[in-house]
């Protein structure tokens, strides 16, 4: 499925099929409908490497922001790669009942970092979470965990 922004027609998809994502707001895997497309003349003038499009979740009508890399510029069209980057991701869901309170707090923060694409912060929070869990388990528990 090629995604093309044309001067006169706006967003064109070569196939009429829709695509689905897990909505970051309602958590439902749903079809996404194009809602907002950038101005062709502005894109053609600036020629950015990436273009942002706003889609609408068909389940809850919330806006979902996606960033596409530009494949090719021509006089009347801008072709985008079909791979995209989600600017907002769904929150990760886990059962926290088995964790001590302090470890749970750290783990929730780690998951929040992951959901917001802050991967270095996610790695740091995972180390802090593991350290907290090992402190609660003691030396014998730490060896058992490995």
Paired tokens of 35: 């809602």
CA distance linking residue 114 with residue 122, whole number of Å: 5
> Checking DSSP bridges between strand 29-36 and strand 19-22, what pairing results, if any?
antiparallel
Q: Phi and psi dihedrals of 42, rounded to 5?
A: -65, -45
The pTM of this model reads 0.64
Q: Which of 141, 24, 22, 142 has the alpha carbon at shortest distance from 91?
A: 24
pLDDT (tens place) for every residue of the chain, 146 residues total: 678 898 888 887 766 667 788 888 888 899 998 898 899 899 999 999 999 999 999 999 999 999 999 999 998 999 999 888 888 776 777 788 888 899 999 998 998 888 888 899 999 999 999 999 888 888 776 666 66
If one counts every other C-beta atom within 10 angstroms of the C-beta of residue 30, the result is: 19
DSSP assignment letter at 114: H
């Amino acid at each position: 499925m090629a995604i093309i922004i044309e001067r006169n027609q706006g967003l064109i998809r070569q196939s009429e099929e829709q695509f689905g994502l897990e909505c970051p707001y309602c958590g439902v895997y749903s079809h996404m409908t194009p809602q907002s497309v950038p101005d062709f003349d502005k894109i053609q003038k600036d020629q950015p490497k990436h273009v942002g499009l706003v889609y609408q979740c068909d389940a809850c009508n919330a806006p979902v922001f996606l960033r596409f890399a530009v494949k090719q510029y021509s006089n009347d069209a801008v072709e985008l790669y079909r791979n995209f980057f989600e600017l907002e991701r769904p929150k990760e869901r886990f059962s926290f009942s088995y964790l001590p309170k302090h470890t749970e707090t750290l783990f929730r923060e780690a998951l929040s970092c992951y959901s917001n694409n802050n991967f270095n912060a996610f790695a740091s929070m995972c180390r802090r979470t593991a350290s907290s869990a090992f402190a609660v388990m003691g030396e014998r528990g730490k060896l058992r965990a490995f």
